Amino acid sequence: MSPSIRADPGARTLSVSASQMRVRSVITSIEPDRAGDVVVPTGLRNRDEYLMNPVVLWAHDRVRVPPIGSCEWLDVQPRRVVAETRFAEGVPFAEDLFRLHEQGVLRGWSIGFVPRVARRVPRADGRAALHVSEWELLEYSAVPIPEHPGALTVALQKGAVRDATLRELLLRIPDDRGGRFWRAADVMSELF
């Protein structure tokens, strides 16, 4: 199967260490994602292999921007996977992303993985969801899924974002909940 990427609504920040530029967070959980898919945390099959090259990306972008940090610690629990990310120092893009996490502007995390054992399960709406019982972690990413789109604008206005690439990307997401000025599909097509 080809890699599948999903943003997990249960992913969240647990702690932030400003002095070490580290964020401890839930990167996935057993809760169904927005499509109804479930990735079972204890189904992770390549933990040790992943930790040999523990890359952390921005929005699953493997090409346009460098990794933003590395995973220093990974804890697989029955209902979630918790990771500690050390953001890259001396890299303005990564430092800006860390500051946005530190301020609570960015909170989202998402795993990039390859399903190894999966089955389709029917949903109440007649469509099928995927239940992934075994999988391999390729990477995880900090992702721009803020609860309030205007929070990004505030961070830009406050001067919290110094990196030109990140500033340009965030400026494309207006303070408009997908109504008049943009559609989520348009923004996502530019990101991926």
Phi and psi at residue 36, to the nearest 5°: 90, 0
d(CA 74, CA 55): 12
Residue 179 domain-assigned?
Answer: no
Top-confidence residue, 77 or 183 = 77
Average pLDDT over residues 51-73: 93
Q: What is the pLDDT of residues 78-90, one digit of tens each?
A: 988 989 999 999 9
d(CA 106, CA 4): 22
Whole-number Cα distances in Å, 86 to 19, 21, 114, 142: 11, 6, 24, 12
d(CA 59, CA 135): 20
DSSP string covering 25-47? EEEEESS--TTS-EE-GGGB--H
Residue 29 domain-assigned?
Answer: yes
Domain count, the chain: 1
- pLDDT at position 161 is 59
Residue 152 domain-assigned?
Answer: no
Residue 130 domain-assigned?
Answer: yes
- pLDDT at position 186 is 42
Dihedral Cα 92, 93, 95, 96, nearest 10 deg:
110
Average pLDDT over residues 185-191: 40
d(CA 158, CA 156): 5
Residue 165 domain-assigned?
Answer: no
Provide the domain limits for residue 68: 4-145
Residue 129 domain-assigned?
Answer: yes
Residue 154 domain-assigned?
Answer: no
- pLDDT at position 168 is 67
Nearest to 37 by CA among 57, 7, 60, 61: 7
Residue 162 domain-assigned?
Answer: no
pTM of the model: 0.71
Q: What is the pLDDT of residues 109-141, one digit of tens each?
A: 888 888 889 888 888 888 888 898 999 999 998
Helix (H, G, I), strand (E, B), or coil: what is residue 55?
A: strand
